[in-house]
């Protein structure tokens, strides 16, 4: 069965600093990978996704993520964090070949941004 690990439960950065949120997955075949963000009182918003092709994917709000098969990782990055990026971030994997599309989520990483 697939699984996702987000090693960092809580990360604090200063506004303007760079950011990297870690995600490791376990899945036997090529996974479909997602990053979602949840702001307080909001639903899960899709930041970006990887299905195939270029291993560096661009998303909304200036985020990018890189798929590294050798490390089973899909880390999320942003070069300069804004205060509005404070939220909880979830990495998720979708088992390929499953038409009905069950997502498996990581624990989530809470991002705090200091002014």
Partner 1 sequence: EPEVTQTPSHQVTQMGQEVILRCVPISNHLYFYWYRQILGQKVEFLVSFYNNEISEKSEIFDDRFSVERPDGSNFTLKIRSTKLEDSAMYFCASRWDTSQETQYFGPGTRLLVL
Q: Is 49 in the site for partner 1 (CB under 8 A)?
A: yes
Q: Is 86 in the site for partner 1 (CB under 8 A)?
A: no
Candidates 22-30, 31-39, 66-74, 79-87: pick the segment binding partner 1 (CB under 8 A).
31-39
Cβ-based burial of 111 (10 A; exposed 0-12, middle 13-18, buried ≥19): buried
Q: Which of 28, 43, 53, 115 binds partner 1 (CB under 8 A)?
A: 43
**Paired tokens of 101:** 């599309």
Q: Is 41 in the site for partner 1 (CB under 8 A)?
A: yes
Q: Which of 7, 107, 112, 114 binds partner 1 (CB under 8 A)?
A: 107
**Paired tokens of 93:** 């994997």
Q: Rounded distance, CA 81 to CA 85, Å?
A: 7
């Amino acid at each position: 069965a697939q699984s996702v690990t987000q090693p960092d439960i809580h990360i604090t950065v200063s506004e303007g600093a760079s950011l990297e949120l870690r995600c490791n997955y376990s899945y036997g075949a090529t996974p479909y990978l997602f990053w979602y963000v949840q702001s307080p009182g909001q639903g899960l918003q899709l930041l970006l996704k990887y299905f195939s092709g270029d291993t560096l994917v661009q998303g909304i709000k200036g985020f990018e993520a890189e798929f590294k098969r050798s490390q089973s990782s899909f880390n999320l990055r942003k070069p300069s964090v804004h205060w509005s990026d404070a939220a909880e971030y979830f990495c998720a994997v979708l088992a390929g070949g499953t038409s009905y599309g069950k997502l498996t989520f990581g624990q989530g990483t809470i991002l705090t941004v200091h002014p």
